[in-house]
Amino acid sequence: MDFFFFVLLEMILPLLLRRSSSIQRLSIHLRDDLGHHKSRILSFSPPLASVTHGLINSRRILTPFVHPLRRFMSQGSGTIDNHTNLMTEAFIPTGDIHKESSSSSSSSSSSSSSSHSTSTSNYLGYWLLGTAGMVFAMVSLGGITRLTRSGLSIVEWRPEGEKLPQTDEEWRVEFEKYKSFPEYKRVNSRMSLDEFKPIYFMEWAHRMWGRALGVVFGVPLVVFIVRGMIPQGFTLRLAGLFLLGGGQGAIGWWMVKSGLEHERFEGAENSHVRVSVSPYRLATHLSMAFSLYSLLLWNAWDMFLLSAKERQSLITFAESSVVSRLRPFVLGSAGVIATTVFSGAFVAGNDAGHAYNDWPLFAGQIVPEDIWIPSLGLRNFFENTACVQFVHRNLAYSSLASVALLHTVCARQGGLNKFPITVQRGIIFMSVLVTFQASLGIVTLMLYVPVELGALHQAGSLALWTSALYTVHSIVRVRRGLPLAPM
């Protein structure tokens, strides 16, 4: 009986009544398991809207039929459309239902506001995706800056940015400043002004790109907030991302400063000590860039999920046990890939790609001879070239193995096509990209890290991470369920 009531209310009445020319809209207020309030709007013709309104405004009537249905759904007995699924899976109705309007004209405005919010969240999603793309380009530009040894050419930092020198005199001033720092003194003492210009330009472009990113993200953010276009729950997240971006600029300068400190390189005139930034600061800078990129993507995908189509495709898998079995393996694989990326920063930071350039062995050994320098202790993992490269290679193999394991688990659950399409897509991309990335790493190493391959290897790591994050996002969102409507 309860179920009949629900079907009448939720499925048949709206279908019949939407055909009517004069439509009323009822706003139904619901509360989820965490106590968050959501609302849903249904359309009815005026006479039946009154009946329906009276009928469902009673908590005593609504609540009893929803709970049996929730049980029915969780037992997985039967197929119910997504509308019902949303109603019962993710939220407990409070039974609090209000009539929103009584004329067809206001109903159309309410309808347009609902579809407007969906398309707004799509636009916001594309904006976030665009800024994530700019971060991708920024990381790649940063990689080229490092590989071309341009990063220490601008020896000052101003939040508003440095002006690109225009006259010979301005160029000479900048060059003179550079000459007083360790990189020029120890490495580039024969550099001419003409050789200085391209490295200066590279670093300048990297910094200015970062500022452009701040504007492309910050200005629309303020406009969206002022116009109330940001869906509930996103404002703080996005404001936090803006601050994180600003922090990344400061971390970049903190990293560069470590390569400008005279005392770090004192007494090293005749030793093999390289003039470069601290590997720890480089790893912090790279990890922050990856985090910023990941959070932008995550929020962009969340925005897209607010559109009904995507929401439906995920929610139908809410009770699927195959998805729950795969989830820890996806999370584990993403964790191993993230650790490989992190260790890569130390390979780059220690210039470890210029040693042990044979493969699969290390100078003919399975384990490099000087893998452990006792005086360094745990710092071996971050500062000893042999150890750093050994760890990175083995983590890369583990990444490959973890993705292969994903395929095995999928096969055991009946094949990849048993999973939501987004999870399928993510796993396929992960497989292709992890194979490409590991092969590229080997070639890059064996060719002594040419700039093009080094830069491609860095971009490849970001592409691989994107596929892993996408898979994680898909599988996490399947579990959580989603809001009923954009708020």
Q: Which of 69, 303, 326, 449 binds ligand HEM (CB under 6 A)?
A: 449
Q: Compute the least distance from the CB of residue 355 to ligand HEM, in Å.
A: 9
Q: Is the CA virtual torsion 138, 148, 346, 208 positive or negative? A: negative
Distance of CA 135 to the CA centre of its chain: 11
| CB of 110 or CB of 248, closer to ligand HEM | 248
- Short-list 143, 141, 153, 253, CA closest to 193: 153
| CB of 97 or CB of 289, closer to ligand HEM | 289
314 is a site residue for ligand HEM (CB under 6 A)? no
143 is a site residue for ligand HEM (CB under 6 A)? yes
| CB of 303 or CB of 434, closer to ligand HEM | 434
Q: Which of 225, 229, 405, 442 binds ligand HEM (CB under 6 A)?
A: 442
294 is a site residue for ligand HEM (CB under 6 A)? no
* Beta-bridge mates of residue 99: 26
393 is a site residue for ligand HEM (CB under 6 A)? yes
341 is a site residue for ligand HEM (CB under 6 A)? yes
| CB of 90 or CB of 256, closer to ligand HEM | 256
| CB of 56 or CB of 395, closer to ligand HEM | 395
434 is a site residue for ligand HEM (CB under 6 A)? yes
| CB of 123 or CB of 359, closer to ligand HEM | 359
Q: Which of 12, 359, 365, 412 binds ligand HEM (CB under 6 A)?
A: 359
Q: Evaluate whether 11 touches 86 at the Cβ level (below 8 Å).
A: no
Q: Compute the least distance from the CB of residue 195 to ligand HEM, in Å.
A: 21
Q: Which of 153, 333, 384, 399 binds ligand HEM (CB under 6 A)?
A: 399
* Count of Cβ atoms closer than 10 Å to residue 460 Cβ: 20
Three-state DSSP state, 94: strand
Instruction: Determine the interface stretch with ligand HEM among 214-222, 263-271, 333-341, 414-422 (rule: CB under 6 A).
Output: 333-341
Angle among Cα 124, 137, 219 to the nearest 5 degrees reads 40
Q: Which two tokens stand for residue 232?
A: 């509930």
Q: Which of 231, 420, 454, 486 binds ligand HEM (CB under 6 A)?
A: 454
Q: Which two tokens stand for residue 369?
A: 């001879």
Instruction: Determine the interface stretch with ligand HEM among 4-12, 48-56, 341-349, 476-484 (rule: CB under 6 A).
Output: 341-349
Conformational region of residue 192, where left means phi above 0, alpha means psi within -120 to 50, and beta covers everything else: beta
Q: Evaluate whether 445 touches 392 at the Cβ level (below 8 Å).
A: no
Give the span between the Cα atoms of 155 and 151, in whole angstroms.
Answer: 9
Distance of CA 396 to the CA centre of its chain: 21
* Count of Cβ atoms closer than 10 Å to residue 370 Cβ: 13
Q: Which of 86, 147, 296, 330 binds ligand HEM (CB under 6 A)?
A: 147
Per-position b or e across 142-181, b if 16+ CB within 10 A of its CB: bbbbbbbbbbbbbbeeeeeeeeebeeeeebeebbeebeeb
Question: Where does this chain bind ligand HEM (CB under 6 A)?
Answer: 143, 146-147, 286, 337, 340-341, 344-345, 347-348, 353, 359, 392-393, 396, 399, 434, 437-438, 441-442, 444-445, 449, 454, 457-458, 461, 464
